[in-house]
């Protein structure tokens, strides 16, 4: 599947076209994956239900997001990133909407994500704070050294 934005930015779901060198450069500086290596980025993508990239008309990758899902009830969005010079142009919003409306995830009715600073971006797509945070639990271990 592919979508074109007014700015001629293409959003695609073809993992074969993902520039894992560029994605690793973007994610290794993000607060949630600081220092991440390419093997971990690639393994996470391969094991995801859907991987999406945003590309300039010249083919440069400028955005990335992926979904972990059973493709039936549940999906978790993570690693959403738009390269700094391309932010505030609707690219992040377009990638999120692309995933939320993707045919492979059409049956999903519970979507989750974690964000420290992009609540405004995600609320425009329909996300809101957890309705019942007291029911959620987690195990959070340090990320292994790779």
> For position 4, what pLDDT does the model report?
59
How far apart (Å, rounded) are the C-alpha atoms in residues 104 and 107? 8
Please compute the mean of the pLDDT values over residues 46-63 and round it to a whole number. Answer: 96
pLDDT of residue 121: 86
Whole-structure pTM value: 0.89
What is the pLDDT confidence band of residue 76, given thresholds at 50, 70 and 90? very high
- Under CATH, to which class is 2-135 assigned? alpha beta
More confident residue, 135 or 7: 135
Query: CA-CA distance, 68 to 60, in Å (whole number)?
Result: 25
Instruction: Let me know: does 18 contact 51? Beta carbons within 8 Å.
Output: yes
Contact call for residues 11 and 98 (beta carbons, < 8 A): yes
Residue whose structure tokens are 């894992």:
20
> Do 75 and 105 meet the contact criterion of CB atoms below 8 Å apart?
yes
Residues contacting 55, CB < 8 A, separation 6+: 9, 10, 11, 12, 17, 61, 62
């Amino acid at each position: 599947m592919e979508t074109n934005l007014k700015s001629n930015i293409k959003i695609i779901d073809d993992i074969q076209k993902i520039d894992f060198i560029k994605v690793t450069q973007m994610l290794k500086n993000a607060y949630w994956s600081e220092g991440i290596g390419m093997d971990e980025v690639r393994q996470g993508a391969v094991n995801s239900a859907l991987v999406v990239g945003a590309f300039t008309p010249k083919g440069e990758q400028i955005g990335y997001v992926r979904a972990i899902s059973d493709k039936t009830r549940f999906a978790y969005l993570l690693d959403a990133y738009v390269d700094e010079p391309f932010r505030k142009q609707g690219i992040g919003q377009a990638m999120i909407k692309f995933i939320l409306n993707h045919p492979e995830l059409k049956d999903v009715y519970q979507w989750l994500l974690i964000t420290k600073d992009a609540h405004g971006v995600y609320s425009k797509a329909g996300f809101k704070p957890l309705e019942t945070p007291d029911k959620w639990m987690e195990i959070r271990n340090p990320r292994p050294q790779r």
